[in-house]
Amino acid sequence: MSGTFVDTNVLLRHLTGEPPDQARRATRLLAHAAPGSLRLPDLIVAEMVYVLESHYRVERTALAGILRAVLGSPALTVADRPLLIRRSNTTSSTAWDSPTPTSSPAPRASGTGPW
């Protein structure tokens, strides 16, 4: 699977509209990306849910709709879309607390990135 990885901040800027200039760029990226060209790891989805719930105080029921909308973006490729959709359908506070068997280990730094 090739493509560019999407960072949590891109999704959060798009969803929250904050700050406006970054939100416009994030929305433009998501809207104009070729279908399947952006990779969305499960960990980024879980982080997005956590930030929306803890910092922005988005209710679980609203989070489910947001998550389904994000997962519905044709530009995004996820490893296990059905699992994430199933998790979005629960209002349980533990739905995102444990890793899933389909989650991949975090990639190791190759020495080419900023870390």
Q: What is the pLDDT of residues 45-83, one digit of tens each?
A: 989 999 999 999 999 889 988 998 999 999 999 988 888
- Predicted confidence at residue 61, as pLDDT, reads 86
Q: Looking at per-residue confidence, does 95 or 2 come out higher?
A: 2
Q: What percent of the chain has pLDDT over 90?
A: 56
pTM as predicted: 0.73
- Predicted confidence at residue 85, as pLDDT, reads 79
- Predicted confidence at residue 2, as pLDDT, reads 65
Domain boundaries, the chain: 4-88
Which residue bears the tokens 């997962």? Answer: 71
42-54 helix and 60-71 helix, angle to the nearest 10 degrees: 150
Residue among 95, 75, 74 nearest 83 (CA): 95
- Predicted confidence at residue 82, as pLDDT, reads 81
Which residue bears the tokens 């909308």? Answer: 69
